[in-house]
Amino acid sequence: MQQYLKSSVSLKAYACLLIASILWAGNMVSGKLAVGHISPALLSASRWILAALVIFAVSVKPLRRDWPVIRQHLPLLLAYGFFGFASFNILLYTALEHTSAINVVIEDAGIPLVIMGLNYALYRIKASWAQVAGFGVTAIGVMLTATHGDLRNIVRLDLNLGDALMLLAVVNYGAYTVALRYKPAIHWQSLMAIPTLGALGAAIPYLLWMSRDTGIVWPDTTGWLIVLYTGLLPSLVAQVCYVWGVELIGANRAGLFINTIPLFGVILSVLILREPLHGFHLWALALVIAGIVLAESGRPKAAQPT
């Protein structure tokens, strides 16, 4: 019975994390579709304004009930939104102004390693050799995607300010994931509502800063549809699923699923943007899946605290 319960929990976590990855991959495709229809900074601010309006509208009762706990943990909850919800994408957008998409995708694959390192440094939560090996295999899959099937392209990467910003984004999201262990025991709607205010605290200053130099591309019909998608699904549903996934199986195991995002991004780009599917994409997908299976099969037997 205990083994059955553990398997059930793992399956729920896998489902949550894969849903989050698919929705975030859809966010990447939305970013491509948004070019010329809405400026990135306005898209970032608009999605969080919409997310805040929706989640607060449906969360009045949980917020009232949870307010005493929320008030005690208000700085932490706002920080979740500032760093985990908005700052990562802001740093990513800014990094892409200075470096290539290839660099960004490869560096993004380092998030699981940051999570493992912080968990060990702060809490002495050890990753098994299988988990480390699984991370390595998934990272190779991501790099295969980023380099278009030729890993030799890695030696020709030109590192600059954008890469430093992306590495900061990676550390930012790894730290956010590890910090979820401190989230208070409140309703999931409250846990989403307050951080959206923190996200606005990052997104609106970014909008003002970017519009000063580049102006604003106001949304047309396509732009508003992209705002609707990103504000509801990647901003709310994906965040809820990711938090649940981390809670169910721990940050080390959950973090590895982040490396599925580029692969789902490729699949959605093929289906939606009609981009070509190459053989190396299939190899990359196989490597990412194999890495996750390897990591899960050799995970530490003791339950990881969340």
Q: Which of residues 25 and 1 earns the better pLDDT score?
A: 25
Phi, psi of 176 (to 5 degrees): -60, -45
CB 110 within 8 A of CB 136: no
Average pLDDT score over the chain? 88
**What average pLDDT does the segment 82-90 reach?**
92
Question: Is the model's pLDDT at 306 over the cut of 60?
Answer: no
Over residues 263-281, mean pLDDT:
85
pLDDT tens for each residue of 180-222: 999 999 999 999 999 999 999 999 999 998 888 777 889 999 9
Q: How far apart are CA 188 and CA 293, in angstroms?
A: 29
pTM of the model: 0.86
Residue 304 has pLDDT above 50, yes or no: no
Overall average pLDDT of the 159-179 stretch: 90
- Nearby residues of 284 by Cβ (< 8 Å), 6 or more positions away: 141, 142, 144, 145, 262, 263, 266
Q: Average of pLDDT values for 105-114?
A: 87
Phi-psi region of 148 (alpha: psi -120 to 50; beta: other; left: phi over 0): left
Token output for 161: 């300010």
Q: What is the mean predicted confidence (pLDDT) over 19-44?
A: 89
- For residue range 45-74, what is the model confidence (pLDDT) as tens digits? 999 999 999 999 999 999 999 999 999 999
